[in-house]
A = this chain, B = another copy of it.
């Protein structure tokens, strides 16, 4: 507990230093950290090896071991990520609006850092560098709490960052890593309102739920995506196959992958055999309602539960809709407000879908896989927000800022 409060105080002191840094100072520091990560790769690999060995000793499965593993090229990629962040425009200092009031007050709305950001994440150690880089460029101090499996790797990475910052003349408390990954410390971290302005969980549904339910600090909820593609009666059916195959199979373990289809009943006969062929050849299991199975003999019956699932696997659920209204209602009932797509050549249907489906990103005739900071042109992202407060969809540097009103007077008082 004492340590957390000390870290909070350090972060608060650091953020006042960070908000005074100019863009060039920040970029130079980011590039220096990138160089340091590369030149000290040996230390990072050695620390990571200890995490890997501990993971193997306790029988961690291969997929998790792989997420945990650092390699020379993954370290290069971390460094490259920081260099790219250095290239991005600095959001701080922007005057967002200026207005003059009848009493002569001049009001400027200025973009400022959020202050202190807390990040709680799971096993991928590269998040340590990525999250630092984005928070730092936006002028924030960050307190990181990674998974216990990656602790030695994370400590090594954060030490390299801190030492490099100090050499650049920047306060090392721009980044602090919580070294105690016990549940009680994590619980206390989620209630550190006095020192932390916002908490961002990065990881699976369980982690996110835990943070939302236990944090008293404002949380930006990121993540889970039960994304749909709706094939309208006026769809280009070949385009629909292409989009669905891409959204489902281009990368299965990601939040913007397609998990569920809605198919207008009028196109089932022409569309479903074509789609099924493409999905079968990629070993995607189909689970559908009766209206779908009428046309697909190898489609498994879908349960109610299927429609609410984020499979992150080679499985897709399928639902028949008698109308656009029915499709929109189904999607609004089951989706996670992430990314949704309509395939249609009908302009009116497209506009209704765009307006009425409640999600961060709504697509007409494009794969849901584009919901991504780089694809949107924002650069690296800290996550995809699925809540509606503050930030929605891909969160880049701007989404790691707040604003303040600067008011210039000449002695005005209120009558």
Q: Which residues of A contact B (CB under 8 A)?
A: 16, 19-20, 99, 101, 105, 107, 114-115, 193, 197-198, 212-213, 216, 218-221, 236, 239, 242-243, 245-247, 250, 332, 350, 354-356, 358-367, 369-370, 375-377, 387-390, 392-393, 402-414
Contacts and interface: CB of A to CB of B under 8 A. Distances in A.
Nearest 9 pairs of A and B residues by beta carbon: A366-B409, A246-B413, A388-B402, A390-B390, A369-B414, A366-B412, A239-B411, A365-B409, A389-B390
A237 to B, nearest CB: 12
B411 A370 contact: no
5 contacts: A218-B221, A242-B413, A354-B406, A362-B406, A366-B412
Nearest to A332: B16
A356 B363 CA distance: 42
Given A362-B407, A407-B362, A409-B363, A101 B389 contact: no
B99 A377 contact: yes
Given A360-B405, A392-B404, A367 B101 contact: no
Contacts of A247: 413
Nearest to A408: B364
A107 B245 CA distance: 22
B115 A358 contact: yes
A309 to B, nearest CB: 17
Contacts of A402: 388-389, 392
Contacts of A20: 355-356
A367 B413 contact: yes
A243 B413 contact: yes
Chain copies in the assembled complex = 2
B216 A218 contact: no
A254 to B, nearest CB: 10
A221 B219 CA distance: 13
A212 B197 contact: no
B219 A212 contact: no
Contacts of A220: 389
Contacts of A105: 366, 370
B388 A198 contact: yes
Contacts of A376: 101, 107, 405
B361 A404 contact: yes
B355 A405 contact: no
A323 B413 CA distance: 26
Nearest to A376: B107
Contact of A364 (B216, B245, B387, B409): B409
Contacts of A362: 404-407
Contacts of A405: 360-362, 376, 392-393
A414 B246 contact: yes
Contact of A16 (B236, B356, B410, B414): B356
Given A114-B388, A388-B402, A414 B198 contact: no
Given A362-B406, A392-B405, 10 more contacts: A20-B355, A220-B389, A243-B413, A350-B408, A360-B405, A362-B407, A365-B409, A370-B414, A392-B402, A393-B405
Nearest to A219: B218
Nearest to A355: B19
Contacts of A392: 402-405
Nearest to A116: B388
Contacts of A107: 376
A332 B413 CA distance: 24
A317 to B, nearest CB: 20
